[in-house]
């Protein structure tokens, strides 16, 4: 399988907007600055934009778990900024390449409040390769649930590579590896960051 480059922010093409948003919120928490290019997508002032990011940062922190898909990130923005101008909300979504309100499918199925009887844990992974069950006793799976520091490192690594700061890019790549993550090649040709786990199938 040929190598397919990661999305512009180093995570995957489908989740780059989510990672970019996480990066910008993290940056806002430190600097109180909003992205430089945002004003060309929205109509409100920079001060208003700063207010949005403050609201979004708080919403992101209390989300359990934080958004991991474009749809989840889009809903967080829409719900948090529902009293703001439609042009601003849609402009912000467009800035991150996230789904617009009219493209989202309403979710009518409620998420169970608790796990089924006898189930102690729920662990979401990439599709499991049958070859990963090597001995019938253990299975190798990959999880794409990123802690925020890994998301930020991936975004910053991509930014460093874009300006050919190879030393910083290599250092950030090592940070990602040290956190237990690596690039996984999917069957559809896409690449994602994921962490490998080995799970015993028997008690």
Residue 114 pLDDT grade (very low, low, confident, very high; cuts 50, 70, 90): low
**φ/ψ (deg, to 5) at 184:** -110, 135
Mean pLDDT of the chain: 76
Q: What are the C-alpha distances in Å from 155 to residues 27, 30, 159, 183, 192? A: 11, 16, 6, 14, 13
DSSP string, the chain: ----PPPTTSS-TTTHHHHHHHHHHHHHHHH----GGGGGT-SS-HHHHHHHHHHHHHHHHH-SSPP-SHHHHHHHHHHHTTTS-HHHHHHHHHHTTPPPGGGSPP--SPPPSSPPTT-------SPPPGGG-SSSSEEEEEE----HHHHHHHHHHHHHHHTT-HHHHHHHHHHHHHTTEEEEE-TTS-EEEEEEEEEES--
Rounded-to-integer distance, Cα 125 and Cα 123, Å: 6
The span from the CA of 23 to the CA of 25, in Å, is: 6
119-135 average pLDDT score: 66
Stretch 44-50: mean pLDDT, rounded? 89
pLDDT at 79 over 70: yes
Share of the chain above pLDDT 90, in %: 13
Q: Up-side HSE of residue 169: CA atoms within 13 Å toward CB?
A: 11
The structure's pTM equals 0.50
């Amino acid at each position: 399988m040929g190598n397919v480059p990661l999305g512009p922010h180093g995570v995957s093409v489908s989740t780059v907007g989510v990672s970019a948003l996480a990066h910008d919120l993290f940056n806002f928490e430190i600097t109180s600055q909003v992205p430089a290019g945002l004003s060309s997508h929205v109509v409100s002032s920079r001060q208003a934009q700063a207010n949005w990011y403050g609201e979004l940062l708080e919403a992101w922190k209390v989300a359990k778990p934080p958004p991991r898909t474009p749809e989840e990130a889009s809903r967080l923005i829409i719900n948090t900024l529902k009293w703001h101008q439609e042009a601003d909300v849609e402009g912000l979504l467009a800035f991150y390449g996230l789904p617009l309100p009219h493209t989202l499918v309403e979710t009518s199925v409620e998420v169970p409040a608790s796990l089924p009887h006898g189930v102690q844990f729920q662990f979401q992974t990439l599709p499991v390769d049958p070859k990963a069950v090597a001995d019938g006793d253990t299975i190798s799976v990959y999880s794409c649930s990123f802690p925020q520091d890994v998301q930020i490192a991936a975004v910053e690594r991509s930014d460093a590579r874009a300006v050919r700061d190879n030393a910083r890019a290599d250092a950030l790549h090592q940070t990602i590896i040290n956190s237990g993550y690596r690039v996984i090649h999917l069957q559809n040709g896409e690449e994602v960051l994921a962490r490998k786990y080995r799970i015993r199938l028997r008690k």
